[in-house]
Structure 1
Amino acid sequence: MTDASTATQRIVQLRAELDGHNYRYHVLDQPSIPDAEYDRLFRELQALESQYPQLVTPESPTQRVGAEALSAFGEVRHEIPMLSLGNAFEEEDLRAFDRSVQAGLGLKGGDLFGAGVEVEYSCEPKLDGLAVSLRYENGQLVRGATRGDGSTGEDISSNVRTIRNVPLKLQGEGWPQILEVRGEVFMPKAGFEELNARQAESAGKTFANPRNAAAGSLRQLDPKITASRPLEFCCYGVGQVSGEISSTQVGMLEQLKAWGIPISRELKLAKGVQACLDYYRDIGERRMALAYDIDGVVFKVNNIEDQQQLGFRARTPHWAIANKFPAQEELTELLDVEFQVGRTGAVTPVARLKPVKVAGVIVANATLHNMDEVARLGLMIGDTVIIRRAGDVIPQVMQVVLERRPADAKPVLIPESCPVCGSHVERTQLVKRSKGKETFSEGSVYRCVGRLACGAQLKQAIIHFVSRRAMDIEGLGDKTIEQLVDEALITSPADLYTLAYEQIINLEGFAEVSSNKLLQAIADSKKPTLARFIYALGIPDVGEETAKVLGRSLASLERVQQALPEVLTYLPDVGLEVAHEIHSFFADSHNQQVIAALLSSDECGLQLQEQGELSAEFSASATLAGMLDKLNIPSVGPGGAQKLADKFVSLDAVLAADWLDMRQALPEKQANAVREFFAVTANAERARAIEAQLKAFGMHWHSEKKVVEGLPLAGQTWVLTGSLEIMSRDIAKEKLESLGAKVAGSVSAKTSCVVAGPGAGSKLAKASELGVRVIDEAQFVLALAGYGL
């Protein structure tokens, strides 16, 4: 038992240590310990405070979990009003702002003989969140408030205390007695997605966007709810301060950062309006890669005295402006809902909209995903809806404006027949497999049952088959494939390899040279790798990475075709549901005919590359216990399966065991479950079939164990950025993966190496910031040559 004196010392030590780690993680972005170690320290502090509740203080890191729910928020009068910012939407707006600043400061403007005096501006992204004020007295957080109407806000002190990166006590020393910092509470994109997923699972309310989620989370009367939400705070300025901090905006923010207040990592100093415009364009290009939503850039005159000289309008300062990005959300009318048929037969609703400009692009169509989404939105034809478009993402219908619903609005109904081929449309069923049983439920997708007899499915299947990451047949664009299908020149992927010159030259857009080029491209595709071929087949839920796993692990199309679902689950990242999709695909007689035609020397003559023996890491990889566990015997988990394996050593012995033998291995309930399971002839035969296949593949526990040769880059993570000129990025990725490396899309402290080509931007900057090794393409090619590639 720890005595109170020792506990007090340890609690003070732990609080200081955790506050320091919070500062390094949230403010400096330089964590010095792994999450698991932070969690261990946090749990130790929780345990001590639970043992000595009299030692708990409001500023302890454990006290961010939220207090009792409030009946209502109190009002807070802002000593210095929280003003709005004026907006700029065009380049000329920003230049006009710069001219007004120069005029207000009495600076000489530019003319034909020079650029004039350039003003220094602080630049930072405009976060799309909720503006708040945090008041510190003698370094302690005493109050948090919303902006409200600028003069009066709501007291949200209990809620802001739960935000992880808001310091309850300032770091360092030298802070003013009174310090009011102002900033934005926001929700990162990843946290928003996780929150909506949790809400959907619990049948709770989902949020339209991260800003709504942040605002709704911060204004909860129950702080425990706020504490459960992934909120963050970013400071952009100060309000009431008892004393001066710095003579510049950037200097002031850097000082706040030193005291533990989070500020934007994108904060920059720009000299002159052109540098501001360059910053705006740079952030705009990187906008979608940022971890949070922004809706513009804020520019502020950097010199504090100049800010005071310029002063304020009624509600906005003369010395700051928000240069907004084009709107990502707009209102428009839903004119109709049409249904498209995809490669797998999925019948998908698509919104036809009254054209509206969103984020600089005219939008007339938007995805609706599936009929469950239509029901969730409560959508009817004729509704006024909110459309959102972010970057290159397909526009989405986010919300219905119910108060604008017309009297003649019509419901959205799924068609009974396929709009392309007229075949029946049926709702998919979901199969949940658990111990000894299968549970069926309705899926969210409707499918046309016409398969390749449906022109839409055939077209999409061919488009996928010839795509760059699949068979990579250059010259077969979407329009050409549509012509080939419409004119009945192809009815399956295999027909591509029997096309004749006379058939191609008659297609629209083809002449002698282009026809011969296409025929050559088709011929050149006849030696795909096994992984490319598997991906090209378009197996449901099997993407490029899963296809690589199948090809690399089983190393034979015959093994992939024969593999039972339970055997497939031995492969990394292949779950039981995907395993059943793979098995069902290859069990289908039509798919078997297409594959046979593709591989037949008399017809298509494809020759698959990179086939051979089973990957060494899977030889003798199965165990009897593991196989028994995969059978999903009711009441028998991994522990029970291991006891069976230890007792009986072989499957035959398990199947032949009588009641007394079984009771020596397992408790009565489990013993009964095993005997009842194998008393069903189909279950016993299934177990024998799995074991037989493990033997045939060389995965059985009695198979010969091969020596696994370590790949030279195994366990390493590489990132490719910028333009690669000697080889394509796809080829570079394939070479790295063949050496055992993982190729990631973002740079972190765990990145092993970054290959930076011309035009490398934020990823290169991040690598430099983290001290990650960086090489150019020439060094990369030299390194590959060292591995014989």
Structure 2
Amino acid sequence: MTEKEDVKQRIDDLTDQINHYAHQYYVLDNPKVPDAEYDRLIQELKELEENHPDLKRIDSPSERVGGKPLDHFQKVQHEVPMLSLSNAFDEGELRDFDRRVRQGLGADPTYSVELKIDGLAITLKYEEGAFVLGATRGDGSTGEDITSNLKTIPSIPLKLQEPVTIEVRGEAFMPKSSFNRLNQAREEKGEALFANPRNAAAGSLRQLDPKIAAKRNLDMFVYSVGQIEDKEIDSHTESLAYVRDLGFKINPEAKHCKDIEEVVDYVNSWLDRRSDLEYEIDGIVIKVDSLDHQEELGFTAKSPRWATAFKFPAEEVVTRLIDIELSIGRTGVVTPTAILEPVSVAGTSVQRASLHNEDLIREQDVRIGDRVTIKKAGDIIPKVVNVLTGQRTGEERDFSMPENCPACESELVRIEGEVALRCVNPECPAQVREGLIHFASRDAMNIDGLGERVITQLHSQELVQSAADLYRLEMSQVMALERMGEKSATNLINAIEATKANSLDKLLFGLGIRFVGSKAAKTLAMHFETMDRLMEADVEALIEVDEIGEKMADSIVRTFEQPGMQKLVDELKELGVNMTYTGPKQAEAIASDSPLSGKTVVITGAMEAFSRKDAKAMVEARGGKVTGTVSKKTDLLIAGDKAGSKLDKAEELGIEIWDEARFVTETAED
């Protein structure tokens, strides 16, 4: 052997050995060597790699220390959306979920249950066994590329045990011990403390310098397979076992339950034990175990019908209400907010809580100075749930809503049929500001770096009075803002410019039309395709669109009849903002008479002429929908070589089956 070959062999041996030890320590929780020996091997590997950088492997454990800082995070489009789950808050709602599942299937399912880790949802992609991409969930459709930071988490394998192409989803989190050490160090430095481990984990993974993330001692559990090539899996339980064998860390408390009774027992067993864990959990995830059953049940617009999350009862605490503050939303609604003596709820310091509206204040007889009970609904939104009238001292003060808007002095009105007071002045500065915050938000135009603080400065300095003004901003104006250097200003200007290319649905949601959420905006954009066609539509044309009701249709028509909205759209057009839907179509065929048009297709086995990915693209281009499991809803199975259980299932159900030759012939003819 030459000297270089000797070095390469030693680097390979060290890489394999260290990765094996790391897997035993971080994934299996079964360390085999002392820390000193592990550190010695790491140091030897680093020295060899520094002298021979061309021999460094993609799965080198030295990647764990973090690479060069990034300028910004790139956007990542999820091929399979990362949907949120519906929630259940008590045993009755769990049983309702089971009833809906059994009705949908016409059969009794089994379930898989797992602890719901309170962290950051992420997706990991591997090509032929090598880690190539890691991203945040984001809005479910688009996330951020945080690959460099995720490489620093020791329990995430850089290379799998098999050369498989796979995407997995999981939860990155910060163990309680790591969180306590981090906050202790920050306190000693006089830095602001993290409120809870979830925020600390999210903040760590959104650092542009991976070396910071590497010091935060994060961990991860994988909880599902997003996509996989050339591997047939029949159940969620089987998928967890498979990814564990590939080298991923799965939660050891996951369990298969034969029925809802076992699910309820599992949930109840954790109600009082959650504090014993080394990591935070906020509930239990329940999934129908059979992937065929999951396929059959399908999805709603927001979540799968085959899964739900049981949320632990919210913690309730008592504190003093020291004031009531009013805020004006983007639609003019006046919302009272309780200002509280700071108190810890579910691991977070709370100083504000919702009072909803004037009627609630009256019904509960809320007074300034009262002792009140607050809780977080679903462990998220703090709200006042009770007033301790028996603890009053006589110094408490009544509260009444004002007659005029606190932001613009316009008269407040109560629209017939509504509970809330509303400011109807369209030029109210508070409404304008909130509208700009909404326009730049993640589900709308998603402008990186344009958060509430920056928008408040821009608006208060009269640099931005409408969404169109954002696209007129100049570098010098942005650089004049507080804590905004040349680099940050450049990034913000570039981020604003980039959103001109957004699809119409993003813009439509960003305009803030009453009753039009992000899903309805996408439905409308897909149907009408251009802003002009949508603005020309009357109520009758709008309600012909699926899921668009008369109330929403009326709101859309009235909004686009307003001269101010027409002026804003014209200005955005002139500034180059895209007015066309450019997202994926729902079932767009290149030939209406294609034999695949409108069919639900499953592809299984190995193809000779093309990859599984290419076959899927060919089906979708011809109007078909490709799914991963065979069910009664499957129209066609395309079977390559060594087709297994899916072929058997298709034959059992009497589903049409094509071999590769038939597939090639049929797609060539259309």
Q: Please give the TM-score of this superposition, normalised by the length of structure 1.
A: 0.42
TM-score (norm 2): 0.49
Higher relative contact order, chain-length normalized (CA < 8 Å, sep 6+): 2
Please identify the structure whose Cα radius of gyration is greater: 1
